[in-house]
Amino acid sequence: MLLRTLCITMTLVAGVPALASDTGKEKRWAEQIVDALLDGEPVWLEAGQDRFLGIYTAAEAAAPKGALIVAHGIGVHPDWDQVVKPIRVEMTTRGWSTLSIQMPILRNEATAEEYVPLFDEAAPRIDAAIGFLHGQGIKTIVIAAHSMGGNMSAFYLSQHPDSPVAALIAVGMNAAQRNERVNTARSLERIRIPVLDLYGGDDLPAVLDTATLRDEAARKAGNSKYRQQVVSGAGHFFDGKNEELLSAVESWLRGLGY
């Protein structure tokens, strides 16, 4: 409770309204997902007083390489058709179990800057996901995140240098945040684990315009295992480019020895 109070206080000082995840919206998403779920199984995770949905899908391999925590982007859910679901489902055919989690969300019309107070709420959810995977006997854990999920995950890793997360795959991540505390470039300056900064050649301006800034931040951190990769012709949601997305993720993980 003390940590939460401090986080809220810091947010107010920064001039950003203190917000919390829209749990009503989360519940509506969860009901729709569970009713229609075909691949994987719903699991309920707890982060403090928050109870949130995860979708666990076991690898098809007899000896899984590890697990991916899949973190979605702004305002959506852990079974979102673009980027999230392809990774969540298809990576299980390539040796990885996946746990896609509901990240903190706001109303549909909320801006990216309004999400700043929710960055701290993401941390206990990621910790809960790690705890669940450890309970499954999984030791190698990688975060695979899209858009805002990548920004939140980078912030989490910058604040938790002792986290057991082995690597970060960030798809369509940007460093356009005006709030310096959560700015992704500032986060990358403190991350030492391998990072794949993957984005489309036709991605959003915020992603494309801050690519150099992100690369410079990783260099400043001395992170020799940071890599940027561009998928030609892909937009922010990789529509029609799922195979290129999955191949890039699988190839990079294989290059790390997994």
Report which of residues 9 and 168 the model is more confident about.
168
Across 187-211, average pLDDT: 98
Across 21-40, average pLDDT: 95
Give 144-194 as a 3 state SS string: EEECHHHHHHHHHHHHCCCCCEEEEEEECCCCCCCCCCCCHHHHHCCCCCC
Q: Nearest to residue 203, comparing CAs of 159, 158, 233? A: 233
Q: What local confidence, expressed as pLDDT, does residue 49 receive?
A: 86
pTM score of the predicted model:
0.92
CB 101 within 8 A of CB 53: yes
pLDDT beyond 90 at 73: yes
Q: What local confidence, expressed as pLDDT, does residue 50 receive?
A: 86
Judged by phi (left if over 0) then psi (alpha if -120 to 50, else beta), residue 233 lies in left
How would residue 48 be classed by pLDDT, with cut points 50, 70 and 90? confident
Q: Do the bridges between strand 50-57 and strand 96-101 make them parallel or antiparallel, or are there none, so unpaired?
A: antiparallel
Q: What local confidence, expressed as pLDDT, does residue 198 receive?
A: 99
Long-range contacts from 29-32, C-beta under 8 angstroms, 24+ separation: 29/53, 29/76, 29/77, 29/102, 29/105, 30/77, 30/102
Report which of residues 2 and 33 the model is more confident about.
33
Across 26-36, average pLDDT: 95
pLDDT beyond 90 at 201: yes
Element (DSSP H or E) covering residue 226: strand 226-231
Q: What local confidence, expressed as pLDDT, does residue 18 receive?
A: 52
Q: For the chain, give every domain's residue range.
A: 2-255
Q: What percent of the chain has pLDDT over 90?
A: 89
Q: What percent of the chain has pLDDT over 70?
A: 93
Q: What local confidence, expressed as pLDDT, does residue 33 receive?
A: 95
pLDDT beyond 50 at 158: yes
CA pair distance 94, 151, nearest whole angstrom: 26
User: What is the pLDDT of the chain when averaged over all its residues?
Assistant: 92
How would residue 101 be classed by pLDDT, with cut points 50, 70 and 90? very high
pLDDT beyond 90 at 6: no
- pLDDT, tens digit, for every residue of 82-91? 999 999 999 9
- pLDDT, tens digit, for every residue of 206-256? 999 999 999 999 999 999 999 999 999 999 999 999 999 999 999 999 999
Across 109-133, average pLDDT: 96
Give 37-101 as a 3 state SS string: CCCCEEEEEEECCEEEEEEEECCCCCCCCEEEEEECCCCCCCCCCCCHHHHHHHHHHHCEEEEEE
**Domain 2-255 class in CATH:** alpha beta
CA pair distance 222, 51, nearest whole angstrom: 38
CB 152 within 8 A of CB 77: no
